[in-house]
Amino acid sequence: MTANSGGPETVSKHQIDDSPPAETTTSETLEDAWGDEAVIQSRDLEVFYGDEQALDEIDMDIPERQVTALIGPSGCGKSTFLRSINRMNDLIDVARVEGDLYFHGKNVYDDDVDPVALRRKIGMVFQKPNPFPKSIFDNVAYGLRVQDQEDNVDEQVQQALERAALWDEVKDQLDSSGLDLSGGQQQRLCIARAIAPDPEVILMDEPASALDPVATSKIEDLVEELSQEYTVVIVTHNMQQAARISDKTAVFLTGGRLVEFDETNKIFNNPESQRVEDYITGKFG
C-alpha cells in the first residue's frame, strides 16, 4: 500500500488523507477497498535500532481472519514489523518506535496500553521452535496460567492441541517433556501454546524455516486452518509458501520500505511495481 491513509478505520488503498486517526472515513471506502474489516492498521510506522532505521513509514491494513504474508529479502524489516505489532520490540533496549499502530482502532503505542495485555490478544510463534523445558501439558497451559484462565485447563489444553493438529500424536504422553518431540511437533506445540489462551491474532515469524518439507506442509495446512478463527500474520522467506497460504501479501524491500501490499494473487500474477516483479521472479533477493 503506497498511500498515506489517515485513520484506523481507513483502509482505502489510494486515498490520501491526513486527518487524525479518530476522524474515520466512511465505511464505504472500507468496503470498496477490502470487503472486510482491518484489525491491525499501521500508519507511518517507523522503527529504529539505535541510529539504524529498520522500518520506513509503513502503512498497512491487516484484514481480520485472513492470512497476511510478509515477504522480502533478509534485513528488509518484515520481522521487525511483525514484532512491532505485539510490542515485542519493547524487549530490545535500542529499539525505538515512531508512528502509530492500531489494534481495533486503539494505538498500541499509547501510554495507557499495557504491552502484556496486548500480547494476550496477539499471540506469537517464533522462527525456531522454543518450547519450555516443561511437559507438553504445561507448555500448552503456560499462557492459560499466566493469564489466570485456569478454569477447565485440561479441556482448553486438549482443544488447543487439537487445533494445532498435534493432539493425536501426543495425547498419551502429555506428561513427557516438550523437548522430546521432533522439530515439527515442537513448532505445532508452540502454535498450540500460542492459541490456547484464545488470542485474536497470531503472529508467526518464519515458523517453518527450521523444519523439513513434511513438517513444513503440516504447518502450512495448519495456518490455513487457523485463519478460519484467527487473524494470521506470517513472515516467510519462502515465496511459494506465501503464494500457497496467504490471502494478502506485503512485499518489503531493502531499507525497511513496504513496496507493495495487495491480494496475494495480484502480487504474484500482476504486481504493480517492477521491483516486486523482479523479486518475485527471483531476479534478486
Q: Does 179 bind other proteins (CB under 8 A)?
A: yes
Question: Smaller CB distance to other proteins: residue 7 or 199?
Answer: 199
Q: Does 93 bind other proteins (CB under 8 A)?
A: yes
CB 196 within 8 A of CB 147: no
Question: Smaller CB distance to other proteins: residue 140 or 165?
Answer: 140
Question: Smaller CB distance to other proteins: residue 30 or 82?
Answer: 82
- Ramachandran angles phi, psi of 148, nearest 5°: 55, 35
Which one of 193, 218, 248, 257 is in contact with other proteins (CB under 8 A)? 193
Which one of 6, 7, 77, 197 is in contact with other proteins (CB under 8 A)? 197
DSSP characters over 17-78 = --S-TTS---HHHHHHHTSS-EEEEEEEEEEEETTEEEEEEEEEEEETTSEEEEE-STTSSH
Alpha carbon distance 224, 26 (integer Å): 31
Identity of residue 77 = G
Task: Give the N- to C-terminal CA distance of the chain in Å, as an integer.
Answer: 20
Which one of 8, 21, 77, 131 is in contact with other proteins (CB under 8 A)? 131
Question: Smaller CB distance to other proteins: residue 44 or 179?
Answer: 179
Q: Does 161 bind other proteins (CB under 8 A)?
A: no
Q: Does 124 bind other proteins (CB under 8 A)?
A: yes
Alpha carbon distance 230, 214 (integer Å): 24
How many of the other CB atoms lie within 10 Å of CB of 255?
13
**Ranges within 69-88 binding other proteins (CB under 8 A):** 86, 88
Q: Does 265 bind other proteins (CB under 8 A)?
A: no
Helix residue ranges, H only, the chain: 27-33, 78-85, 115-121, 136-146, 153-163, 167-170, 183-195, 213-226, 239-245, 264-269, 274-280
By CB under 8 A, the count of residues binding other proteins is 28
Q: Does 63 bind other proteins (CB under 8 A)?
A: no
Alpha carbon distance 89, 100 (integer Å): 14
Q: Does 257 bind other proteins (CB under 8 A)?
A: no
Closest separation in Å from C-beta 103 to other proteins: 14
Closest separation in Å from C-beta 119 to other proteins: 5
Q: C-alpha angle 206/208/211, rounded to 5°?
A: 140
Closest separation in Å from C-beta 225 to other proteins: 21
- Footprint on this chain of other proteins (rule: CB under 8 A): 86, 88, 91, 93, 116-117, 119-120, 123-126, 128, 130-133, 142-143, 145-147, 177, 179, 190, 193-194, 197
